[in-house]
Chain A
Amino acid sequence: MTEPGKKYGREAALSAADSHHIAEVVAHLLTQRLEKPTRTSWGTYEAISIVLIEIRTAGGIAGAGETLARFSPKSYAQLIEPSLKPRLTGLDALGIGALWQSMRCALCGRAGGMLIEAIAGVDIALWDIMGKVAGLPLYRLSGGQGRRSVPVYAASVNWAHDDQADCELQGNRRCPAGLSQICKRHAGRAQGSCLGLEIDWGAVKALRTT
């Protein structure tokens, strides 16, 4: 028998997570000019954009995510604001699966294209929040191999003439993996945050395109 007034199941889970309800979703459009254009068979990229998604919970936890939005970033923002935000605001930030399903239904047609890129930014921000709530970095949360470091490769020697390609190859050997302009790595291992990054909001402001 159920007790009157007592909450069960999903309802109970939701009320326990009240403070993790989503209070704010902001899409920041950022554009950067590349120091050196990236040349591929697809074309030459001189300036590219992203959308940085900022989500804040009622309890004051903030998460950040990134949407791939190389071009027309404003179009992504105009999708996120009217079509994704109402499917997030007021709901439990930790119910990521339910929010994902709801966001996917924002547009009909096969899954794909800009909608899924937009969802990606929100999803990453939600996992950032999850990590902060749990006090664990994402690699711990996912219950995986627990590697303390991972092998990487440098990207890339551009599709350029021989001299430049040689130079890039040498250069990349000397200075591997550069860090993003907007993120600073925590000193030491960032145990408190899922992504292990802290956003430099001053840099975000400087890169905003609108």
Chain B
Amino acid sequence: MTSLTKQEPPEPSGTAAPEIRITDVIAHPLTQTLPRPTVTSWGVYSAVSMVLVEVRTDAGIAGVGETLARFSPKAYAELIESSLKPRLIGHDARNIGALWQSMRRALSGRAGGMLIEAIAGVDIALWDILGKAAGLPIAKLLGGMGRTEIPVYAAAVNWVDDDAADRELDSYISRGFTRVKVKMARPVKEACRRIERLRARAGDGVELCADANWAYHLDEAVEVGRALSANGYFWFEEPLAPENEQGYEELRRRCDVPLAAGESNFTVDQTTRLVMNRTLSVLQPDVARAGGISETRRMAGLAQNHDVAYAPHIGMSGIICETASVHLSAAMPNFQLMECECDLGPFKKELADLAPGCVRQKNSILDVPLGPGLGIEIDWDAVARLRS
């Protein structure tokens, strides 16, 4: 008779690694004024915020993460310190999956909104700790493609008048970018004119894509989509509101330009429909919104299984979000192209010892940091200066 007693797996031969216990979680609400306002169909952003999450451990290793918190950053910081911190203190920082599950239960209701953005900041900090504990950059730790450099595109030519748009395009090209994103808005006729003008101006060596920030109704999006495919733009980003999934499916049937979206999604379940029926050609989660490296990696994996490319969104986020995205880009098999936002605000320029991607890139190619974890050191004086 076979024994029904479950056999315990043997202990690994090396000595078990001591636990790395979380001793403190600090949420720093930060606010920056942008050197040049970002103008999209959603509105004009002249000042935006974020939360820098600092996780400390008893092993002397600290990690940092970033929570997307464009507005009301103190609300996020309060949520993190009152509802997430008690679920983290005393636990092993390396059990990221278990901690993620526990944090998700801090509030009931469907996953989404501010809670998932708050979790994103903690999750990135935990991956930073895991990388430092292992002595490996996150790009390696993810066990992926091991890219040492990644292709990026410049973001973005704002929705401004012709002269200003021309100047912005020229400036990206003069900095060596070979791929540039152009913001779209209403009216449709103006958008179609902008599409043609910038295509002609950019010249053969430069590829263009378009981002509408939900500007359109379906029929308008069809018209803009046709102008984009006629002018060889490589994708049409967020033409419709993200909740209008049926609209995206209809648009896919009615125009040829590849559709891109995903920065508005918080969790994998919100990604499933448009990825699984291959309405989207490109999935663009923002690691500082979409539950951090853990959930973003799950989204990219789902996309990979359905022949959908992964192209991280950065936008007005800071250097931590950008660097975490570089690590994911280096690792994920279906990675296509990363956004390189050129706003050069203090969140990108001042918070760490690593220069922002738009400064480091050469010919639209960006290096992957080699240090353990995220591979960046935070400038705590800058954090103090930007605290709101």
Contact = CB atoms under 8 A, between A and B. Distances in A.
Interface in A102-159: 105-117
A107 B264 CA distance: 10
A207 interface: no
Interface residues of A, number: 27
Contact of A113 (B71, B72, B116, B265): B116
Contacts of A114: 75, 79, 107, 113-115
Contacts of B270: 110
B79 to A, nearest CB: 4
Interface residues of B, number: 33
Interface stretch (A71-79, A165-173, A177-185): A71-79
A97 interface: no
B243 A110 contact: yes
A113 B75 CA distance: 13
Contacts of A78: 72, 74-75, 78
Given A75-B79, A111-B243, A70 B72 contact: no
B109 A108 contact: no
Contacts of A83: 71-72, 75
Contact of B82 (A72, A108, A113, A116): A72
Per DSSP, chain B at the interface is: loop
B71 A107 contact: yes
Interface in B103-121: 105-110, 112-117
B147 interface: no
Interface in B220-244: 242-243
A116 B112 CA distance: 10
B72 A72 contact: no
B289 interface: yes
A71 B266 contact: no
Contacts of B105: 42-43
Contact of B115 (A74, A105, A113): A113
B289 A109 contact: yes
Contact of A108 (B42, B72, B76, B78): B42
Nearest to A77: B75
B114 A113 contact: yes
B11 to A, nearest CB: 34
A71 B72 contact: no
B76 to A, nearest CB: 7
B112 A110 contact: yes
Interface string A76-97: 1111001100000000000000
A68 B43 CA distance: 29
Nearest to A76: B75
Give the interface centre of A71, A106, A108 by most chain B CB atoms within 10 Å. Answer: A108
17 contacts: A72-B78, A72-B82, A74-B82, A75-B76, A76-B75, A78-B78, A79-B75, A82-B75, A108-B264, A110-B265, A112-B112, A113-B109, A113-B266, A114-B75, A114-B107, A115-B113, A116-B113
Given A105-B42, A105-B43, A114-B107, 7 more contacts: A68-B109, A70-B107, A74-B78, A106-B72, A110-B266, A111-B243, A114-B75
